[in-house]
Structure 1
Amino acid sequence: MTTTGATTAPRPFAGFGDEAELDLDLASPRVAAQVVKRLLSPDFEDWSAAVARVGSCTNPIHLTGSSTRVDSATGEVLSSYSSDAEPLGTTLIRCGNRRADKCPSCSRVYAADMFHLIRAGVAGGKGVPERVGENPLVFATLTAPSFGQVHGKRDNGRACRPHAKMPRCDHGRPATCYAKHADGDELLGQPLCWECYDYASHIVWQWWAPELWRRFTIALKRLLAQRLGVRDAKLNEHVTVQYSKVAEYQRRGLIHFHALIRLDGPKTEQGFALAPEWLTAQLLAELVEDAARSVRFTASPVFADDVERVLAFGTQVDSRPVKFGHRTDDPNGPLAPEQVAGYLAKYSTKSATDTVDGDGSNPHLRRAQAVAAEFATLVEDEWVAAGMPCELKELTYGLLGKWHTALGFRGHFATKSRRYSVTLGALRRARRRAQGLLADAQRTGIPVDLAAMEAQLLADDEDETTLVIGSWSFAGIGWDTEGDVELARAAAARAREYAQHRAEMKRVAGQSN
């Protein structure tokens, strides 16, 4: 059902003009009735203002309590705040979910933070010196191996799987596919034969993928030490390896790691030292590929009757140099900072939910989830039979049940080395400070130049001159109805469209000048 309504807008429902209509795709007449009830409610303006304050978050957290800001040097009370002053009776804060399917608004904030974090490690900024762009840098993709033949989209419009030694597999299913699959084809990522596909190894590889990445970083450092002719323990006296990594689910339900890997000079307190000139990005790309192909890990059996598995990355390893200032329209040349920052920021907001949950119509991913859940049950039964204490469940496969919906992947979706660039915490702290300054500027009418205050906004907490003392209690999560959620989503979409419109206007104005 599609309902179109117009309102003269308290923000955030105004678009490019106050007469802009609000388009809503509603799931049912019941949700439509909830939307209409909210739009006509006496407290709509208060509710709309609350939506705006949390950036159109679709699942905000409700808190009750109060806080007081105190000058840490003098003890003077600077200000106080209580949730009782809020029109809705509670203080709302963003849910902060990075997943686009859960909260589009918070996901976009997370992606924007990741973009700035990643770009700063490539070209400088946000407290990172610009000279970091002179160090060798590569964009690497480490893939998962094959656990069975799946349908895929091939380059140059080629057929899916036209060649096979036998026309049918041992289970009597076709071992070839002559189709030329397009994006959106439901067969993409599906096994040609689900009985031939090794779901058990799929889950085990996924479980140990973080360990494979750890071993990859160790292997890369060892190769560098060999090339430099120094002992592994002395490597940091010559070069340091920095990286920013994001995990992305593929259609077949397996994780790929996308990473920016940078070589800095000797380890220093400030970091970001210049690397030796003879260490080029091309050499680093070759070492990355060699390290990825050398990694091996023997995974222990999941349960008593299971087998050991020797795990490795897939044979398709891509490692391309990144060059600051390079053109972005050369498909075969080095990548530019904006490209890789955009790639990784986009990947960081995806999850298994984007491919696994959906409408539940993906039989391959549902089957992988079922195998992971079955393994978790077998492990739990063995632990109970052996009388193992629950506090040891973190060992080996004890928490597999917690991650079965993620197809066994238990790692972080976005990680970085300590000295790669600015931290997400620093960016979030800077945003809170900037929002406070903008609120003060709006109240006093005195303009503020945030760009000139970047160092101050990014300063550590110990530089703060005020102390916040508060007492807060959790009072709930989410909006009252599905209709409220849909209105919040629509507001987030409207804000996104408006931001894109403004960006396009600035781009056109810049070209005309």
Structure 2
Amino acid sequence: MSAPLTLHRPGLAAGRDAQALQRAAAPDFFGWLEHTRAAAGCTRPVRLTGTLTAVEPGTGRVVGERHTDELPDRTLYKACGNRRAAQCPDCAWVYAGDAFQVVRCGLTGGKTVPATVAAHPVVLATFTAPSFGAVHHRHIPRHTCGDRRRCDCRPAPCHARRTAGTCPHGQPAACFTRHDANDPQLGRPLCLACYDHDHQVVWNAFSGELWRRTKQAIERHLTALCRRRGIAPVQVVTDSGKVRRVPPVRVSHGKVAEMQRRGAVHFHVLLRLDGVDPHDRHALVPPPAGITADDLDDAVHAAARQITVTTPAHPDRPRGWPVAWGEQVDVRRIGAGDGDVTDGKVAAYLAKYATKSTEATGHCSTRLNPDTIDAYADPEGDHLARLIDSCWRLGRPTHRHSNPTATLTGERQGDLDSKPNPYAGLRRWAHMLGYGGHFLTKARRYSVTFGLLRDTRAVYRRTEDADTPDTAGTVTAGTVTVGTLAFVGSGWLTNGDTLLANTSAAQYRERQRIGREELAHEAWLSGVAA
């Protein structure tokens, strides 16, 4: 019996090259490249089939119609749009660009956001999770390097103890290693048995609720401060025509979640102070003069100390788990003269984390189910295996009848399911170590939406070559393309197609990068000449 093809790397490369040469030698090769350009760099593009109809706006008259059977490969390719760089680097690159614009527009304005927001007080707050047990870490008490990105400072010992004893399970309670930045031990517990894995996955699951209550506490703190300083509330008219008195200051936020190496999330949050316009409650206006960034700083620290969420009862923990922030709450002011905390650097920093997930922990899998859970969960395994096992165990169905001798005779199944497990979501998000929230969220008023950026990009692509037919064979200028499409699969048809499409996309991105650099250089020369 021959070995599987996947184990023969040279054979795979030879087959891929042969497929690429066959595609490149085809008469419609350049038409195929143009057809796949929109999804060229995608790892697993979505393949669609159906009818594309060009309709004249206003009249509804059909201008042209074409079936995907007439297109190359008899299908339409669409990029998957995955935000995770580990899954699809090209789509994540596009998502990171959109995330950068979403974050930065909330700081400097632009793209329907007024430029006056640049004068609003803004802080960058970092909320961390509490300790669930001692883990290996790398700490540099004092930086002497000139560039943090190339830091070569010597770290302190991990867990130095004068008396290096042992924990109740016989494991050393000290670690004198000066860990490197890429040490796989970072984030791993000193003792797996001492570490509270259940509490950590529950904290991940309820961290979104903790943030919601924290923001409410920040706004309450600022409202009380306005009252003490004599800043009157503002009367606004609601959509129903009623007059309401609202606080004169409100907080708009943009939040990014980051997964730490130990498997707990922490949040980087941009908090911007806005005022209230009595004539237009949707307008973005500066806050009252009596409220400053110092007050916002104090409100963040006060809320982080006060807010605690007690989770619902669980058979394994009848009193629930306390969910609160860790002791490390860092607040930095944007645009306060610190070169490390500028608008552009903060936007790039948050956009980078928006494309990440659990890669920092070493775990990266799709959603788990009863057939795949045994490959990842183990109550006696390593740190990640125990976290996943905690998610699966705590999320088990717990709403069955408490009497083991009871039968279903004369009872409806719905009566037994009347009290579902509030921790059931832990099973759904076991591959995320319990965290089921979005990695980038924002307040409605903070900035533009991803939808607006995608629509703007789509309109630009349809109009940049208005005089040439598109891949559907219909003229896009002045028409709307309506697709009646169905999903037929995902991924490229051959490895050779993957090679050609990704190479073409890489060349296209490189041309774009060089063009941007040339434009920036010309602008710099113009400034020097002026």
Where on the TM-score scale, by shorter chain, does this alignment land: which range? 0.7 to 0.9
Among candidates 366, 369, 390, match of residue 385 of structure 2: 366
Cα distance per residue 1:316-366 (max 9 Å; x no partner): 11111112xx666x34xxx21101111111111111245342599993223
Do the aligned partners of 2:132 and 2:196 also contact (CA within 8 Å) in 1? yes
Do the aligned partners of 2:398 and 2:420 also contact (CA within 8 Å) in 1? no
Amino acid at match of 2:320: E
Classify 1:204/1:442 alpha carbon distance in 2 versus 1 (closer, same or farther; 3 Å).
Answer: same
Is 32-41 or 239-248 further displaced after alignment?
A: 32-41
Q: Report SS of the residue matched to 1:201.
A: helix
The 2-side partners of 1:502 and 1:285 are apart by 41
The 2-side partners of 1:505 and 1:483 are apart by 33
1:184 equivalent to 2:194? Answer: no
Among candidates 299, 304, 307, match of residue 311 of structure 2: 299
Aligned counterparts, 1:207-286, within 5 A:
207-229=205-227, 236-266=246-276, 268-286=280-298
Amino acid at match of 2:16: V
Do the aligned partners of 1:303 and 1:382 also contact (CA within 8 Å) in 2? no
Do the aligned partners of 1:143 and 1:317 also contact (CA within 8 Å) in 2? yes
Cα distance per residue 1:293-332 (max 9 Å; x no partner): 2110001233355542111011111111112xx666x34x
Aligned to 2:44: 59
TM-score (norm 1): 0.81
Amino acid at match of 1:474: F
Cα distance per residue 1:255-297 (max 9 Å; x no partner): 1111111111115344211211222222212211211221100
Do the aligned partners of 2:400 and 2:416 also contact (CA within 8 Å) in 1? no
The 1-side partners of 2:268 and 2:439 are apart by 10
Gaps of 5+ in 2: 1-6, 143-154, 236-243, 366-374, 471-476
Gaps of 5+ in 1: 1-25, 445-463
Report the structure number with the largest CA radius of gyration.
2
Aligned counterparts, 1:5-404, within 5 A:
28-42=9-23, 43=26, 45=30, 47-155=32-140, 156=142, 157-163=155-161, 166-229=164-227, 236-266=246-276, 268-303=280-315, 307-323=319-335, 330-331=339-340, 335-358=341-364, 363-377=382-396, 379=398, 387=413, 396-404=422-430
Do the aligned partners of 2:400 and 2:417 also contact (CA within 8 Å) in 1? no
Q: Report SS of the residue matched to 1:377.
A: coil
Aligned to 1:428: 454
Aligned to 2:444: 418
C-alpha displacement of 1:240: 1.9
C-alpha displacement of 1:508: 4.0
The RMSD of aligned alpha carbons is 3.3
Cα distance per residue 1:393-440 (max 9 Å; x no partner): 986112221111100011111111111111111111111001001121
Cα distance per residue 1:362-390 (max 9 Å; x no partner): 93223211221222336487899895589
Count of matched residue positions in the alignment of Structure 1 and Structure 2: 463
C-alpha displacement of 1:40: 1.2
Q: Report SS of the residue matched to 1:206.
A: helix
C-alpha displacement of 1:28: 2.5
The 1-side partners of 2:165 and 2:348 are apart by 42
Classify 1:415/1:40 alpha carbon distance in 2 versus 1 (closer, same or farther; 3 Å).
Answer: same
Cα distance per residue 1:2-37 (max 9 Å; x no partner): xxxxxxxxxxxxxxxxxxxxxxxx992343134212
C-alpha displacement of 1:226: 0.8
Classify 1:304/1:317 alpha carbon distance in 2 versus 1 (closer, same or farther; 3 Å).
Answer: closer
Amino acid at match of 2:217: A
Q: Report SS of the residue matched to 1:440.
A: coil
1:472 equivalent to 2:485? Answer: yes
Q: Report SS of the residue matched to 1:253.
A: coil
Do the aligned partners of 2:399 and 2:418 also contact (CA within 8 Å) in 1? no
- Percent of paired sites with the same residue: 36
Classify 1:393/1:342 alpha carbon distance in 2 versus 1 (closer, same or farther; 3 Å).
Answer: farther
Amino acid at match of 1:97: N
Among candidates 464, 468, 478, match of residue 438 of structure 1: 464
Classify 1:495/1:372 alpha carbon distance in 2 versus 1 (closer, same or farther; 3 Å).
Answer: farther
C-alpha displacement of 1:77: 2.7
C-alpha displacement of 1:231: 8.3
Cα distance per residue 1:468-511 (max 9 Å; x no partner): 54421111111234565465555555444444444444444444
The 2-side partners of 1:393 and 1:465 are apart by 56
Classify 1:91/1:293 alpha carbon distance in 2 versus 1 (closer, same or farther; 3 Å).
Answer: same
Q: Report SS of the residue matched to 1:300.
A: coil
The 1-side partners of 2:518 and 2:270 are apart by 32
Do the aligned partners of 2:260 and 2:360 also contact (CA within 8 Å) in 1? no
Classify 1:58/1:285 alpha carbon distance in 2 versus 1 (closer, same or farther; 3 Å).
Answer: same
The 2-side partners of 1:480 and 1:389 are apart by 50
Amino acid at match of 1:263: L
Is 212-221 or 372-381 further displaced after alignment?
A: 372-381
Classify 1:197/1:39 alpha carbon distance in 2 versus 1 (closer, same or farther; 3 Å).
Answer: same
Aligned to 1:7: none
Higher helix share: 1
Cα distance per residue 1:183-207 (max 9 Å; x no partner): 2111111111111110010111111
Do the aligned partners of 1:159 and 1:178 also contact (CA within 8 Å) in 2? yes
C-alpha displacement of 1:241: 1.4
Q: Report SS of the residue matched to 2:326.
A: coil
